[in-house]
Amino acid sequence: MDIDLVFKIAATGIIVAVLNQLLIRSGREDQAMMTTLAGLIVVLTMLVQQISNLFVLIKALFDL
Amino acid sequence: MLDTLGEWALQGVKDPLRFAAQAVLTLSIGCAAGLAVSGGWRICVEATAVLAFGTLSLSAMMDLTRLVGETASECQTYLAAFVPVYSGIALLGGQTTGAAAYSGLFYAMSGLMCTVIQSVLLPVLQIYFCLSASAVLWGGQGLGRAAALFGDCLKWGLRCCGTVFTVVLGLQSALAGVSDSAALRMGKSVLSGFAPVVGDAAAAALSASAASFHLLKGTLAAAGVAALAACFAPVLIRCALYGLAFRLAGILAEGCGQSRSGQICALYADGAQLCGSVLVLYAFMVVLSTALLLISGNGG
Amino acid sequence: MAKIAVLCFMAGALSLTLKKDQPTFAFLVSTAGALILLLSAAEQLRPVLAFLNTLKNYASSQSFDCLLRVLGIALCAQLASDFCKDAGMAAAAGAAELCGRLLALLEALPLLQGLVDSFLSFLS
């Protein structure tokens, strides 16, 4: 069981939240937006792999 | 002798065993599915499980009724060849009345019985199976009552045939002198228990003709009766095993909490036993009429 | 089982931490938690289904396969609907559920067809 994934995503989320706040406070909102997007893309790549694993497994198990 | 018994057992056991395995699989998946999903999906999955089990049972029973009909007509074809030969031999032996009775009355009776089975009893049985499955799948009082009505019709029809059968055999009152042995009593109680409705009639006929069986050894009639028994025995074993399989599946279904599949099992177990009764009736009619000819033919 | 409970607890805590500032990431954390749980459940189901497959070779039937597929569709649809609800999209959740039901009905249709064919062949 791959618990690390949750921690990785949470860590990325926390980093992005902190950077977001810093950049907004220093008035660079567009860069804040881009940081958020970057973090989202990183996390999504991690998640999509796992989602595809799950659905391939379900397809194999249930013969769908 | 044991070889032939083993062969009959094997032929009769294969199909019910496979059906039992499939039923257990379907019921366990249904149970697991009911546990795994929740909410609105549970109804959906349960309905599919009942549908799957109903399809399985209906196709098995379809095959069984078709097999019973084929056995009856196979037997009738065999009799069409056997009866003239045997009554011809009896005639040459000087037993004119016996031969006439056999080739006339009993052959006509067995022909009539075969026709009644194929055109009345078996279709009613099939309609009973269809209606029970529909009643459980789609609910509704009307369908359930219609299925019960057909079941009652069938039992009434069997009772009629059983009565006619004992009356016709009762015409041969020369069968007095029954030696009531322990084996005979056991056979009677097994019959009455096993074949509902007709068991009593068949058991009475069995005891009435017990005396004739030891006379059958070494005669042409013995060979004929043995061939007929070989025709009937696997199918009877199959009916009994299907009934047993349905009862066990019913227990499993009720235990898993699938009450609708359990209802199908109960209804179909009764149906399988009725199939067996139909065949028992016909088998006894045919086998005992042959035995009776022998008795009347031997100057009894 | 203890690992599962701990995972749920951690995922919940982290998700709540992120919910105010970055609700997207909170949703992604809860999704990841759900995925990991399901993956471990499916892995544990694998020997059971392998056993059922060996039984299937002995006594296979169309109805059993159909039932298994409907179960799979039900699980997937429930998962999709729960993801939507987590993200706050109630309409999408309803639509996913409807889609799943329709697919399950389509799957069960051959079974129904077979049953009706049996009836018709009996009664004719």
How does pLDDT run across C82-122, given as a tens digit for each residue? 999 999 999 999 999 999 999 999 988 988 888 888 888 87
* Whole-complex ipTM: 0.87
pLDDT band with cut points at 50, 70 and 90 for residue C28:
very high
Q: Show the tokens assigned to B146.
A: 């219609």
Nearest to C115 among B41, B47, B58 (CB): B58
Determine contact: B66 vs chain C, CB below 8 A.
Answer: no
- HSE, CB side, 13 Å, CA atoms: give it for residue B4: 8
Q: CA of A28, closest CA in chain C: separation in Å?
A: 17
| C91 within a domain of the structure (yes/no) | yes
Residue B292 amino acid letter:
L
User: Most C CBs within 10 Å: which of A5, A7, A9, as the mutation test of the C interface?
Assistant: A9
Please compute the mean of the pLDDT values over residues C21-28 and round it to a whole number.
91
Looking at the fold, whether C32 and C87 belong to one and the same domain comes out as: no
Domain of residue C122: give its range. Answer: 61-124
Determine contact: B143 vs chain C, CB below 8 A.
Answer: no
Q: Show the tokens assigned to B105.
A: 């009355």
Looking at the fold, whether C16 and C69 belong to one and the same domain comes out as: no
Domain boundaries, chain B: 2-297
In sequence order, which residues have a C-beta less than 8 Å from that of residue B160 and are 6 or more positions away?
Answer: none
Hey, how many other C-beta atoms are within 10 angstroms of the C-beta on C35? 20
Nearest to B22 among C59, C75, C122 (CB): C59
Chain C residue numbers with beta carbons less than 8 Å from the beta carbon of A61 are 42, 45-46, 49, 72
Say if the Cβ atoms of A63 and C68 lie within 8 Å. yes
Q: CA of C120, closest CA in chain A: separation in Å?
A: 30
Under 8 Å between Cβ of B45 and B271? no
| C52 within a domain of the structure (yes/no) | no
Nearest to C64 among B22, B39, B62 (CB): B22
How far is it, in rounded angstroms, from Cα B16 to Cα B71? 17
Please state the domain count of chain C. Answer: 2
Looking at the fold, whether C88 and C119 belong to one and the same domain comes out as: yes
How would DSSP label each residue in A16-62? HHHHHHHHHHTT-HHHHHHHHHHHHHHHHHHHHHHHHHHHHHHHHHH
- H/E run at residue B218: none
Determine contact: B226 vs chain C, CB below 8 A.
Answer: no
Nearest CA in chain C to A14: C18
- HSE, CB side, 13 Å, CA atoms: give it for residue B274: 27
User: Number of H helices and number of E strands within chain B?
Assistant: 10, 0
What's the residue count for chain C? 124
Say if the Cβ atoms of C71 and B45 lie within 8 Å. yes
How far is it, in rounded angstroms, from Cα B224 to Cα B43? 56
- HSE, CB side, 13 Å, CA atoms: give it for residue B287: 25
How far is it, in rounded angstroms, from Cα B203 to Cα B51? 39
pTM here is 0.79
Segments of chain B scoring below 70 in pLDDT? 1, 8, 90-103, 166, 168-222, 289-300
The 10s digit of each residue's pLDDT in B183-209 is 455 556 656 665 666 666 666 666 656
Chains that touch C (3 or more CB pairs under 8 A): A, B
Say if the Cβ atoms of A6 and C32 lie within 8 Å. yes
Is residue B60 packed enough to be buried (19+ CB in 10 Å), middle (13-18) or exposed (0-12)?
buried
How far is it, in rounded angstroms, from Cα C3 to Cα A6? 13
Residue B195: DSSP 8-state: S
Say if the Cβ atoms of C36 and A6 lie within 8 Å. yes
pLDDT for res B172: 43
Q: How far is CA B74 from CA B68, B113, B227, B242, in A?
A: 10, 13, 11, 22
Looking at the fold, whether C80 and C38 belong to one and the same domain comes out as: no
Under 8 Å between Cβ of B279 and B236? yes
Nearest CA in chain C to A52: C35
pLDDT for res C98: 93
Say if the Cβ atoms of C64 and B130 lie within 8 Å. no
The Cα diameter of chain B in Å comes to 81
Chain B residue numbers with beta carbons less than 8 Å from the beta carbon of C108 are 47-48, 51
| C54 within a domain of the structure (yes/no) | no
Under 8 Å between Cβ of A46 and A8? yes
In sequence order, which residues have a C-beta less than 8 Å from that of residue B219 and are 6 or more positions away?
Answer: B294
Beta strands in B72-218 (DSSP E): none
Looking at the fold, whether C28 and C87 belong to one and the same domain comes out as: no
Looking at the fold, whether C26 and C78 belong to one and the same domain comes out as: no
pLDDT for res B177: 32
